Structure 1
Amino acid sequence: MRVFKRKGRGRSVRYTTSLESHESELLASMVASMSELLTEREESAPRDDLAELTGIRTGHSSAPTDATLGRLLPDFHRPDQDTELTADAVNGRLNAALRSVNEPKIIDAKLAASTTMLATLPDGGGDVALTEEEAMCWLTALNDVRLALGAMLGISEDTPDQLPADHPHAAHLDVYHWLTVIQELLVEATM
């Protein structure tokens, strides 16, 4: 992958780069896998009769048990953020209500960004030219894929920059770092 370059002005601005075929395929595979996770979460949400009547969609009221989905769809409020509320109140009622109302919209936004990224990835590699809106979708999808991969790998401040070549997650960590570089390059181009 090459550096993202900003070309044009105003509405004609494009963010351009070129991807090798394996880069395009890897991005497509990772974004599609993440989208499947989000779609499964959305489809497994309980159906509510009142929501059906009013047209107001509701989602799960409980956090995902899967670490990857938990990172993509975290709680809205943590007990350490408010000393006046008890942990039970926050983790129970407040987070459940916020999640139920907002999770469908969050999933929709993440899936829309993923769909845009998949639609603008060159099949088999090649040139990429993104509008401002498409670039923002790429940034969202890249961030989500990084979060998902980071959760699967258990990335923390203590994670080394590189793992021994024979470590089972060495290649995955390299991909995580590569995604970070792509995201940084696109952020720099959009600034």
Structure 2
Amino acid sequence: MQYKNKNDSDKFLLELRDFRHNALNIMHGINGYIELEDWEGLKKYFYEMLESIKPIDTSLSTIEKIENSLLKRLLSAKFKAAVNIGIDFKLITDLIILPENDLISDIDLFQVIGLSLDKAIDAASEANIKKVSIYFLRSGDSTTIIIENTFKEKPNMPIIDGVSSTLSKYPGILYNTFVQHQVFVQELQIIK
């Protein structure tokens, strides 16, 4: 594993230490059930831990594959914010890097993604089932970014404030919002 700077390696060491502490805490919990010979409690504890770990591992490993450091940091921050308030956050991508394009500046693109994720996380935090998913997909010369979230009350905003004003500078970029299967969907399509 290669680190770009000291901060990356320090961050990795902190995350490794946190992982070790979490693993030890889990082991202490398992030990308690074994000492009490509470096999049903141990089984329940094990499956609860297994379920809580699955979504985190998948999305974190996907974020690590993204080579654009700004996008990686943005997604990591949003992931942590969502998970900290109990939201199941999924990232699905077939892109390792966000393709360079002349249609929208990186700053504006990251602002749109950030605002869209903020709104998605806010809405999902109030829902009974708390989920946010973001997809980065490429098809030919087109890159599509889809953000989906659950919600408590049906959103009445056709376009999110801040996103529409930023995207108004880029007539070649398609942005659409809709509700499908009780999920609010934001779709951004960048076509070369």
- Which structure shows the bigger proportion of residues in strand conformation? 2
Same fold (TM over 0.5): no
Higher relative contact order (CA 8 A, sep 6+): 1
- Which structure shows the bigger proportion of residues in helix conformation? 1
- For Structure 1 versus Structure 2, the TM-score category normalised by the shorter chain is under 0.3
